[in-house]
Chain A
Amino acid sequence: MAELGFVIAMSVMTLFWGIIGGVVPWFIPKGPNRGVIVTMLVLTAVCCYLFWLIAILAQLNPLFGPSLSTDTIWYLNYHWP
């Protein structure tokens, strides 16, 4: 179950940024700004994907859990699924 969630998230994000960085540049019309726009798209895709990837990899195998106050625990016990 957990694995499935991870796999879905991973594939969706990779696909999304992959399209932005790898597919959309081919469809930018020729003009004086084509080079700039393509560079911007590729760099955005790389930066944003990398940033998201680091965030999810850092949480994949947590070494310790969060310490909560008992009030918070009581609240979460009843209100979160």
Chain B
Amino acid sequence: MVFRSEEMCLAQLFLQSGSEYDCISELGELGLVEFRDLNPSVSSFQRRFVSEIKRCDEMERILGYLLREIQKANIAVPEEDESPVAPPPRQVLEIMEQLQRLEMELSEVARNKEKLQRNLLELTEYTHMLKITRTFIHSRSRVSALGPQYEEFPTMETDSVTGCTGMQRLGAKLGFVSGLIQRVKVEAFERMLWRVCKGYTILSYAEVEENLADLDTGEISKSVVFLISFWGDQIGQKVQKICDCYHCHLYPHPENDEERADVLDSLRTRIQDLNNVLHRTEDYLRQVLQKASESAYTWVVKVKKMKAIYHILNLCSFDVTNKCLIAEVWCPVSDLANLRGALEEGARKGDSTVPSFVNRIPSSDTPPTMLRTNKFTSGFQSIVEAYGVGDYREVSPAPYTIITFPFLFAVMFGDLGHGMVMSLFALWMVLTEKKQKKKQSSNEIWAMLFNGRYIILMMGLFSIYTGLIYNDCFSKSLNIFGSGWSVKAMFTNQQWTNKTLQTNALLTLDPNVSGVFIGPYPFGIDPIWNMAVNRLSFLNSYKMKMSVVIGVIHMSFGVVLSVFNHLHFRQKFNVYLLFLPELLFLLCLFGYLVFMILYKWLAFGARDSSQAPSILIHFINMFVMQGKDLTPLYPGQTGLQIFLVVIAMLSVPVLLLGKPLYLYWLYRGGKGLSRRRGYERVRRVSEDDNSTAPSYEDDEEEGLDKIPSRESRKVPLSFLYLGYDIYFVCLCGLCIFLAFVVLFSELSEVLWGMVMRLGLRITTRVGVVFLVPVFGLFAMLTVSILLVMEGLSAFLHALRLHWVEFQNKFYHGTGVKFVPFDFSLLPSVFEQDGLL
């Protein structure tokens, strides 16, 4: 990542018909260039390589089916470290064939398995039915043995010899219908039977203990075995119809016990056989899937790359005369050599006789913006780009953001202990990078935290530094160098005695007394302030002034960076009309405020503390141009202030009106320079009849002609924005900044006071045991409230400060990002479905 985005050029690639596939494959592996669509008017169905893409789609469909089956069988798909290359067209047919064969095999096996399972279920149901109806018959016979004997229904046992002849005596045949029905339908079934058959049927049913899976719906439900005994043929038909209606599974009812026993035996053997066959089928299926899973990953990647290459080939235009494909690409100028190398490599692989070559062509379109990043800088670059992708060749704020963003965060967050926890967490994420990348968890919040691990690391490190300076570690101070305030001195100088201590609750150290104030603490805030009651009045004044100083310096830095943009785009007038008035305004007012802050710190001490002026009042008076009754900070103050205010006021109209007036003057054909340019332009236009843009040379000429139309529309907006910017945003941003700076230390102190102190106060031995859960509570609240919540809000505010106060001064952010054709950037459809 460098100062500004890279220089790009438009290039034409001439791809010979034999090697075009390989060249594009090479380019996809390297990820160098972005292709432009040369056939925008052609619909996707009319493009040249539509059939190949259809073939790829078919292969992807089969692969999807395959992966789903593999996932169902709980087989893991091994991923390979090296990504396979896109296969040449002749290999494509092979892969297609393999996949189709696999699909057929799998579907056949699956069908067979289903049939077997259905069979098994029927046999199992039959077995249950036989067992349960036996209990019906036997129990019924027991019951009827107790009750009165009816001629019509003799018991089964006594009739075993005669079979059904006993019943036939009455001229009516006793029929049985038995089967299974779902539990939920039983009551309705019974009611229907009663209503239809008017009592000529007897229904007995019992539940099956085992849960059977219903093959059609796949759900497991309870079934009930029923036995209907009816009398007469017509009733029999009605019963059959009702059973059909309720989707019962009917099985033939055996005549007597021996038959039943026989059937049961044969069923048992058949079930055993079926189970065997089913096991073998499942094993075979598993084997097939296992073999397929070994190459599944390779196939997926190959198909993905193939499809991408054909998409790109569709973007190229076919040149009939030269029999080659022409592609237009955006390429970084520094990568042109690599591009040539890639094309040669592709030509070599494709065994083509004529090599493909690159031709750089000039263009008037704005190229996309490209900034090279590595894993460390990409996080910061994405923060900047969230505001907007930079214009082509505009100064990029990203290299500065790497340091200023964590620094501003740390100024607001500043706590040694919390900073250490944050850094350790980020360090852990950084050290286990490779492992985490492989896991690819689907939790979005974790993914965001992981992508920002370097940002969090920097924020944590800077927070440690600012925590040391604020002398704040979990709201306690460290005394490393010895405090600069001495209490003893108050006693030795007879300011205080033991009596003073007894009569007063609070006493203030007086820096005027010799020996009380030894010197400023060499590194940070003196630890005595942590114990002082008036701590906030000192700290607030310090933090307020600090945030003003830092904020003004940050904003001035932003303004200074805009000079580089103006000079690069050859808009020198911007330097005088925008940069200078803006800088003067900023420095004359807020820069002077910074000066006053520094002056007060250096010039006024404890001795003249009663006369120390309030900077705020002086600042306000500067604008109002009053304050004759205030003692000046330094001789000549009023004169200087008036001078500065006048300059600031003068720079405002220049800032707001200077540029539009200048552009208007130019547009009107201002004297001298521009008229001559106008003549040159007309000549050039007449030479190039086809060109729509007058020239494709420098921004300079483009600037002169295009500015009135484009920029004059931008100017009224920039007016308003400037006004808003300076008055409200500066002060608003600084105020919120200050609020954060003060707030966090307060929250952390409150947490300490309310939680840890309770635990530490208990003096008995039991207190030790009590301390453990108290510490646990303290730690949990620290992490959740202080680290997460406050960290997030400080992060957001630092981000906002960067975007609005800093980037707004020089960064337009209206560009288009360079998206190279790179296989690793293309997501696989299956990954999104979670199949891979």
Contacts and interface: CB of A to CB of B under 8 A. Distances in A.
Contact of A70 (B399, B465, B505, B553): B505
B9 interface: no
B538 A43 contact: no
Contacts of A36: 1-2, 377, 399, 402
Interface residues of A, number: 45
Interface string B506-530: 1111110000111111111110110
Interface in B460-487: 465-466, 469, 482-487
A57 B598 CA distance: 8
B403 A44 contact: yes
B606 interface: yes
Contact of A55 (B485, B491, B501, B524): B524
B532 A66 contact: yes
A50 interface: yes
B617 interface: no
Interface in A24-81: 32-33, 35-36, 39-40, 43-44, 47-48, 50-52, 54-70, 72-74, 76-77, 80-81
Contacts of B504: 70
B507 A59 contact: no
A48 B510 CA distance: 31
A57 B602 contact: yes
A62 B469 contact: no
Given A54-B546, A62-B606, A80-B488, A68 B507 contact: yes
A66 B508 contact: yes
A28 B93 CA distance: 54
Contacts of A48: 465
Interface string B89-119: 0000000000000000000000000000000
A68 B509 CA distance: 8
A1 B601 CA distance: 20
Nearest to B537: A64
Contact of A60 (B531, B537, B602, B612): B602
Contacts of A55: 469, 524-525, 542, 546
B517 A47 contact: no
B535 interface: yes
Contacts, number: 173
Contact of B520 (A13, A51, A56, A76): A56
B535 A66 contact: yes
Given A3-B519, A59-B525, A61-B606, A67 B508 contact: yes
B550 interface: yes
A70 B506 CA distance: 6
Interface string A1-26: 11101101100010000000000000
Contacts of B501: 70, 73-74
A47 B606 contact: no
Interface in B522-559: 522-526, 528-529, 531-535, 537-538, 541-542, 545-546, 549-550, 553
Nearest to B525: A55
A59 B609 contact: no
B469 A52 contact: yes
A73 B411 CA distance: 31
Contacts of B438: none
Nearest to A66: B532
A32 B525 CA distance: 40
Nearest to B374: A33
A61 B399 contact: no
A24 B562 CA distance: 28
A63 B604 CA distance: 8
B83 to A, nearest CB: 24
A12 to B, nearest CB: 8
A2 B515 CA distance: 10
A59 B526 contact: yes
Contacts of A65: 485, 508-511, 516-517
A68 B524 contact: no
A79 B599 CA distance: 36
Contacts of B153: none
B810 to A, nearest CB: 16
Nearest to B518: A2
Contact of B483 (A39, A73, A80): A80
A9 B553 CA distance: 24
A43 B404 contact: yes
A60 B604 CA distance: 10
Interface of A: 1-3, 5-6, 8-9, 13, 32-33, 35-36, 39-40, 43-44, 47-48, 50-52, 54-70, 72-74, 76-77, 80-81
Interface of B: 1-3, 372, 374, 377, 399-400, 402-404, 407, 411, 465-466, 469, 482-488, 491, 496, 501-502, 504-511, 516-526, 528-529, 531-535, 537-538, 541-542, 545-546, 549-550, 553, 598, 601-606, 609, 612
6 contacts: A5-B522, A6-B519, A59-B525, A64-B609, A66-B529, A68-B509
The 8 closest A-B pairs by CB, nearest first: A66-B532, A65-B509, A2-B519, A61-B605, A9-B522, A43-B403, A59-B520, A63-B609
